[in-house]
Amino acid sequence: MTGGPFPAGDWGEPAERLDEVYRWVEAAALRTAGWYLADRAWKRRAARVLRAGSAGCALVGALLPLLGLA
């Protein structure tokens, strides 16, 4: 995901320029949302794996001191 160059233009007509900048930002936001939604399945799976790994590490971290007492 890479950004494009900022649209060049003349600020002699600020209303037209602002409209052009608005369309440029809106197009970039829609591309970003499309990119996110297109690859959502693997991101969800990766997040679940990270969550499970964190829970597993927390469990092991809590059990190690208890095993040391036995």
Q: Is the pLDDT of residue 62 over 80?
A: yes
- Nearest CA to 3 among 20, 27, 22? 27
Q: How far apart are CA 66 and CA 63, in angstroms?
A: 5
User: Would you say 11 and 17 are in contact if contact means Cβ atoms under 8 Å apart?
Assistant: yes
43's CB contacts (< 8 A; 6+ apart) are 36
Instruction: Parse the chain into domains and list their residue ranges.
Output: 14-69
More confident: 55 or 5: 55
This prediction has a pTM of: 0.52
32-58, pLDDT tens digit by residue?
899 888 878 888 999 999 999 999 999
